[in-house]
Structures are given as C-alpha cells and as structure tokens.
C-alpha cells in the first residue's frame, strides 16, 4: 500500500469532514446541469465517492452503479450500495458507462494520475464525463493564503491547481473533447478565496471512438 492510499484510507476510517467533503446530489445536478433523466436507468460511474451521499442516491436511480476510489476502506463502505467497486488503478476494467462523475477528485491527483484515469475511462457511445478541476485566480494566490489555509493546501495532503490551458491539453491528450464548461467561484476554503472551479462536460473525441 502506498503512502497516498494510506492517507485516504485513514481519512475514510475517520469519516473526515474536511477532506471528504460530502457533496449533495442536488448541488451536483445543479452545478453540472444534469437532469435525473440522464441518470435514471443508465450505467453510471462515480469516481471518488467521498462520504457516499451521492453514491447512495445514485444506487437508487442508476441501472448499474460503479464506484471507483483510491481507498479500499471507502470501497468497502460503498458495497452497501453497489457490488461494483473498483480501486482507481483498475479503472480500465470498468465496463462502458453512459455517465461518469468525478467531482473534487482531480485537485488531489498528479497530472499523470489524472491522465491515466481519463485515458482509461470507458464511455459508451454518446456517454459523458462530468469533472471538476481547481484553478488559481492568480499565479501567486497560495502565497497570499493564511498560514492555516496554506498549510492545508501544501503540507497536510496533495492539492494540485492547474491553468485552464493545462486542463484542456490534458483532456485532449486523453482522447476526450470538452463539450461544455462552467467556471465557478466555490467560496472560501479555510478563509482563502484564491481558487475557482473549472467544471467540464466531456465526451470521447470522435477520432477515438471504437
């Protein structure tokens, strides 16, 4: 087990409310402009299951729900709602899905990890990925954060902030295209306002369809 796996296992064992944000389904539907019809009776993948609030709801709506996470502790919890659980390193083994959701995950992943997950994502024809990246409002935004916020962002665990151009290149290199984008100010993180969210709807690039 790597140090990163252990880090997330510990947080899931503690049900840590700071790192495991516990997004609510209505917030996600509103943010990405997803309708219930897009999820109902569809094959759905949730990448990064947090505190399982969304997992529980999706299990009641989707035809088949796949749960994917770096933490085996999290996946063990997810078995309450779906038998289809996969560690992130096995994402390529997940059957084709109509919709994949990856919210508040890539901010904690290196570029290589992001690319591996994106390029191994199995979307069905017409399938969509909804994902979020964190960007800085200014290049030196973290330097102007409070000591508490800066420590959480740089020492307590992995945070990766990207430019929109970096994100666009990563999406393209993974064989996907961006079909819609939303920029959102999520509010303060421990009193720090230096980030914004780039929320994307993506599909397979037609040149990569099989």
Domain assignment present for residue 182? The answer is: yes
Domain assignment present for residue 92? The answer is: yes
Question: Whole-structure pTM over 0.75, yes or no?
Answer: yes
Whether residue 209 has pLDDT greater than 70: no
Q: How far is CA 98 from CA 45, 107, 131, in A?
A: 8, 24, 14
Domain assignment present for residue 210? The answer is: no
Q: How far is CA 105 from CA 25, 109, 207, in A?
A: 16, 7, 27
What values do phi and psi take at 43, rounded to 5?
Answer: -85, 120
Q: Report the CATH number at residue 183.
A: 3.40.50.150
Share of the chain above pLDDT 70, in %: 96
Residue 209 near residue 175 (C-beta atoms within 8 A): no
The helix (run of H) or strand (run of E) holding residue 83 is: none
Domain count of the fold of the chain: 1
Q: Which domain holds residue 68?
A: 3-205
User: What is the average pLDDT across 156-160?
Assistant: 87
CA pair distance 48, 68, nearest whole angstrom: 6
pLDDT digits (tens, 9 = 90+) for 71-115: 998 899 999 999 999 999 999 999 999 999 999 999 999 999 999
Residue 200 near residue 133 (C-beta atoms within 8 A): yes
User: Taking Cα atoms as reference points, which of 141, 145, 147 lies closest to residue 162?
Assistant: 141
Domain assignment present for residue 127? The answer is: yes
Per-residue pLDDT, 18? 67
pLDDT digits (tens, 9 = 90+) for 125-135: 999 999 999 99
């Amino acid at each position: 087990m790597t140090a990163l796996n252990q880090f997330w296992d510990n947080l899931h064992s503690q049900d840590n409310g700071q790192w495991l944000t516990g997004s609510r389904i209505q917030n996600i539907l509103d943010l990405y402009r997803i309708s219930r019809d897009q999820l109902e009776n569809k094959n759905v993948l949730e990448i990064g299951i947090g505190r399982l609030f969304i997992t529980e709801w999706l299990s009641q709506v989707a035809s088949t729900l796949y749960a994917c996470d770096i933490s085996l502790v999290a996946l063990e919890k997810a078995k309450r709602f779906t038998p289809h659980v996969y560690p992130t390193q096995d994402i390529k083994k997940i059957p084709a899905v109509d919709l994949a959701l990856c919210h508040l995950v890539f901010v904690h992943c290196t570029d290589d990890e992001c690319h591996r997950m994106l390029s191994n994502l199995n979307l069905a024809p017409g399938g969509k990925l909804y994902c979020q990246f964190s960007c800085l409002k200014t290049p030196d935004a973290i330097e102007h954060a409070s000591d508490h916020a800066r420590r959480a962002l740089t020492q307590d665990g992995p945070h990766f902030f990207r430019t929109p151009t970096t994100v666009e290149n990563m999406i393209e290199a993974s064989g996907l295209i961006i079909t819609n984008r939303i920029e959102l100010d999520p509010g303060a993180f421990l009193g720090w306002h230096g980030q914004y969210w780039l929320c994307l709807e993506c599909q397979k690039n037609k040149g990569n369809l099989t």
